[in-house]
Amino acid sequence: MVTADAALYETMSVVNDVPRNAVTRAAKIAGLPIGFAGRTALGVGKRIGGRPAEIVAQEIQRRTADQIFRVLGELKGGAMKLGQALSIFEAALPPELAGPYRATLTRLQESAPPLPARTVHHVLARELGEQWRDNFAEFSDTPAAAASIGQVHKAVWHDGRDVAVKIQYPGAGRALIGDFTQLSRLGRLFGALMPGLDVKPLLDELRDRVAEELNYELEAAAQHAFAEAYRDDPDIYVPDVVAGTPQVLVTEWLGGTPLSAIISDGAKAERDRAGILLVRFLFSGPARTGLLHADPHPGNFRLLDDGRLGVIDFGAVDRLPGGLPPFFGRLLRIMHEEDPDIGAVERELRDHGFLRPGIEVDLDALRAFLAPLAEPSKVDCFKFSREWLRGEAARVTDASNISRKFNLPPSYVLIHRVSTAGIGVLCQLECEGEFRAEVLTWVPGYLDPLPA
């Protein structure tokens, strides 16, 4: 049976050939394991023909990754969001595959078609009641922003407050969960990308996390918790929630200068301040709220006229009631030693599931792989830059054998997203500051005694 919402989603305006039909989407996803089977059979033939097994395995991995990410990019909507969640695999890919994948997702997201006004009104009537206009003194039918599963409209609440009204695309949830349900059955396929990865529990965790992002009532609760924790804070501002339903979220409007504008045109002092406040917010959140803001891209931050960092979009959060795991602080502390005990690093990684039983790594290579990751917090003042990040990317590519052996425990999925995306934003800002002080203040475990 097709619901009214699903029908609306199917008949919405579309861009190019982005498939909305459930049958079409399912067929594209179903083709993934068929392609993998064919490549694997071809690989066996090549090995029989004398090609080295490692070279053949790398070729299968690259072709599989290319097909997975290309299909996810073509599907848009829920599958595109899934593709973003699965970016954990991207770290193990060569640049010639990872680059086009990122470009495809960016292009599709930027070209997301807005919902027609009649569809917006339908959703508002269903979620807020037939008299939904009574809640607003003004409401703009033109969206102020769009994303993969929803869009934002600017309005004036009935009490005169400027508000942001976030509206979920009708049927987006159905498409997203349907895509994920199918993809979660393809554990062997994703395992081909990173042999050290325990894929099934990771995909289960990703599905649960992405499903949470569809429920705006959960997002409202998280945003309100942050707004309360940072109320009257001199450095961080979070607009509070005005009203919320499962598919409509009304919050106070956030002005200020978008972080993207600070990146492109900001003075050095602005970029430095934005960078240090971003780190402070991300690290302090778990300690102050038991939650981690897990979507640190520039669109979710503003630099306000009074110098504070404004933060929006709390759909993706990690629940960390005990704060950040002390494991990270201990690992950094070991790596900051002049002659780090790499055996202790390996034990920490194994104890927390980052190296599965039976997976062996070269300790010297492991040290070379991890050492630059500790650089920003090893010195009192550090400068992030695109050049530094390019060097890091080249190092990861050179150490692909190490990276492919790592496992990502499900409980660390969103922490991984924050760490990688956050570093990317800091390098875009080209900011400089005392980031080590933020680590010492907010990351537990760093001051613990080193293991014997």
Segments making up each domain of the chain, as ranges: 4-110+172-213, 116-168+215-253, 255-452
Q: What dotted CATH number matches 116-168+215-253? A: 3.30.200.20
Tokens of 112: 């997301």
Tokens of 437: 């002080």
Q: How far apart are CA 156 and CA 160, in angstroms?
A: 6
Strand pairing class (136-139; 150-157): antiparallel
- Between the CA of residue 383 and those of 275, 279, 441, what are the distances in Å? 10, 13, 19
CA atoms within 13 A on the CB side of 294: 26
pLDDT along the chain (452 residues), means of 10: 38 36 52 43 38 44 56 52 53 51 48 78 96 98 83 96 94 72 62 65 77 91 98 98 97 95 95 98 97 92 97 94 93 88 89 88 80 88 91 67 79 86 92 96 87 62
Hey, CA dihedral for 431, 434, 435, 436, is it positive or negative?
Answer: positive
Supply the pLDDT for residue 86: 54
Supply the pLDDT for residue 432: 98
Hey, CA dihedral for 74, 78, 82, 85, is it positive or negative?
Answer: positive
Tokens of 160: 């005169």
Q: How far apart are CA 426 and CA 422, in angstroms?
A: 6
The 3-state DSSP class for residue 152 equals strand
If you search the block for the tokens 């009074």, which residue do you land on? 306
Tokens of 57: 């395995």
Tokens of 301: 């931050």
Supply the pLDDT for residue 291: 97
H helix count then E strand count, the chain:
20, 14
Tokens of 426: 């800091």
Tokens of 201: 């529990």
Rg (CA), the chain: 23
Supply the pLDDT for residue 43: 37
Tokens of 186: 């393809």
The 3-state DSSP class for residue 384 equals coil
Record the pTM.
Answer: 0.78
Hey, CA dihedral for 415, 419, 421, 425, is it positive or negative?
Answer: positive
**Cβ atoms 219, 213 nearer than 8 A:** yes
Tokens of 258: 């978008």
Q: How far apart are CA 421 and CA 417, in angstroms?
A: 6
Reported as type and span, the H/E element at residue 36 is helix 22-48
149 DSSP assignment: S
Tokens of 219: 């997002």
If you search the block for the tokens 């709220």, which residue do you land on? 289
Helices 268-289 & 413-429, crossing angle to 10 degrees?
160
The 3-state DSSP class for residue 293 equals strand
Q: How far apart are CA 344 and CA 331, in angstroms?
A: 9
Beta bridge partners of 12: none
Q: What is the 3-state secondary structure (H, E, C) of 212-251?
A: HHCCHHHHHHHHHHHHHHCCCCCCEECCCEEEECCCEEEE
User: Given phi > 0 = left and psi -120 to 50 = alpha, else beta, which region is 194?
Assistant: beta
Beta-carbon contacts of 449 under 8 Å, excluding residues fewer than 6 positions away, are none
